[in-house]
Amino acid sequence: MPRDTLTGSRIRERRISRGMKQADLARKAGISASYLNLIEHNRRRIGGKLLMGIADILGVDATLLTEGAGAALIATLREAALDMPAIPAEQDRVDEFAGRFPGWAQLLADTHTRVAMLERSVETLTDRMTHDPQLAASLHEMLSTVTAIRSAASILAEPGEIEPEWQARFHRNIFEDSGRLTEASRGLVAYLETEGEAASETGTPQEELDHVLEGAGHHVAALETADGDVAAVGDEIGGGLSAAARSLLADWLTRYAADARALPQDDMARAVAELGADSALLAQRFEMDPARIMRRLAALPPDVLSEPVGLAICDASGVLTYRKPLPDFPMPRFGAACPLWPLYRALSRPFVLMSAAVRPLVQVGRDTTVLRSETWAAPRGSLAVNRDPLFEAHMIVRPEKRGRETDEAQEVGVACRICPREACEGRREPSILSGGT
């Protein structure tokens, strides 16, 4: 129903909230009660002098009766008041508040909605961490099975004779339990991977952005043309994101579009075919900022690149603001990365394009590939007089060329929590992995 046809309803609501009888209002307004009844049920239009008179009697602005406030806004404000019963908000005057101060009312309503969303996210994350029944059950089963294996193995390993019948029984138990442990581990990994896919529903804005970029393959074809529309692309791929994540996405897309205009994909593809994904050579060829070269490399579609390319970008505090991991070079989804990454060294060597071999330490006993990293740190944003610039660092990682693998590669981890390297000056917290190099 259009808003202006609800004037009668608003008069009725206002009259009832003031405890005034219909007959009394009609009398004061100089009309019959039956006519006011028709008005209040929106069966007669009202305007002009009569409307002004009724508004005056009810003590409200006439526009509040004709335009009112949005039903959704009123409902949200009422909800906000109900959520905090200790504060005696004048609920009977909510319409008036929204009508007289629409901006403040909308601010209050939006803040209430945002608080509710944040509370839900906190609840979900807390629940996932502490009361996740699937995770708890999987871990419980794994620990129970490990306990059984450990007990049986200890009995077999201890000195002294064990009857052959018991010996056979414990061997069989270990065999059975190791099978169970394998199944439980697989189940847990599958569950955690599924959880990871759904992380954008409750994650931080940065996680939401990571999820969208991952879904897009870090390539936006619509922005590779000169007339690419950043806002339209943002609407298309950013649907369902939080406001904060949409803002991050808009910044990223704006930068992407500027990079694409400065260095079109076709030019980049031809140069990569000739020189390889070497940031230094490409920067020299195009006489361009190596950071832009690195971002363009990371944005190339897989059919253009002969080898995969990963990219990490961090701000001056070391926080990762962009991550495109490689299977051999995972990047942490949460928290800080390994401080041994050449990315962080670049922050102390700005304007120096550095190249280094790295060997990611992912798991004890697992052979890992040597990768080539190239890093570059430079100020972000415009320069200003007497103000220190804020630096940003980029790090490209790609498979090392055959024959160039070297033992001198720097061993680096993903993050302390899951790093097997024990003797490390960069360690911030203990690892959950045992053993190490």
Partner 1 sequence: MSGHVLLIEDEPNIIEAIGFILSRDGWRVDTHSNGVDAVDVVRAKAPDVVILDVMLPGRSGYDILRDLRNDPVTQTLPILMLTARGQSKDREMAERAGVSRFMTKPFSNAEVLDAVRALKAS
Give the interface with partner 1 as residue ranges (CB under 8 A).
136, 139-140, 143-148, 150-152, 154-155, 166, 169-170, 173, 176-177
Residue of 325, 356, 343, 337 lying closest to 391 (CA atoms): 343
Both structure tokens of 359: 């060997």
Q: Which is nearer to partner 1, 37 or 173 (CB)?
A: 173
* Coil, strand or helix at 311: strand
Smallest gap from residue 142 Cβ to partner 1 (A): 8
Nearer Cβ to partner 1, position 146 or 280?
A: 146
Q: Closest Cα to residue 300, out of 197, 414, 401, 398?
A: 398
| Strands in 226-381 per DSSP E | 310-314, 320-324, 354-360, 371-380
**Cα separation of the two ends of the chain:** 72
Extract the tokens encoding 299.
């944005």
When the beta carbons of 302 and 435 are compared against partner 1, the nearer one is 435
Least separation, in Å, of the C-beta of 317 and partner 1?
A: 32
> Cβ(62)–Cβ(55) under 8 Å?
yes
CB of 421: closest distance to partner 1 in angstroms? 25
Q: Which is nearer to partner 1, 177 or 210 (CB)?
A: 177
- Of 50 and 155, nearer to partner 1 (C-beta) is 155
Cβ at position 435, least distance to partner 1 in Å: 16
- In whole angstroms, how close is the CB of 141 to partner 1 at the nearest point? 8
Per-residue exposure over 151-161, b if at least 16 CB sit within 10 Å of its own CB, e if not:
ebeebeeeeee
Q: Which is nearer to partner 1, 93 or 169 (CB)?
A: 169
Q: How far is the CB of 179 from partner 1 (least distance, A)?
A: 12
CB nearer partner 1, residue 166 or residue 351: 166
Q: Indicate the residue among 151 and 284 with the shorter CB distance to partner 1.
A: 151
Do residues 397 and 373 make contact, with C-beta atoms less than 8 angstroms apart? Answer: yes
Minimum distance between the CB of residue 5 and partner 1, rounded to whole angstroms?
Answer: 58
SS3 for 339-392 is CCCHHHHHHCCCCCCEEEEEEECCCCCCCCCCEEEEEEEEEECCCCCCCCCEEE
Nearer to partner 1 among residue 151 and residue 321 (C-beta): 151
Rg of the chain, C-alpha, whole Å: 33
Torsions phi, psi for 94 (to 5 deg): -65, -40
Shortest Å, Cβ 127 to partner 1: 15
Could you give the CA distance from residue 133 to residue 130 in angstroms, rounded to a whole number?
A: 9
According to DSSP, the β-strands at 354-360 and 410-412 are parallel
Task: Name which of 334, 364, 381, 374 is nearest 436 in CA terms.
Answer: 364
Give the nearest distance from C-beta 247 to partner 1 in angstroms: 37
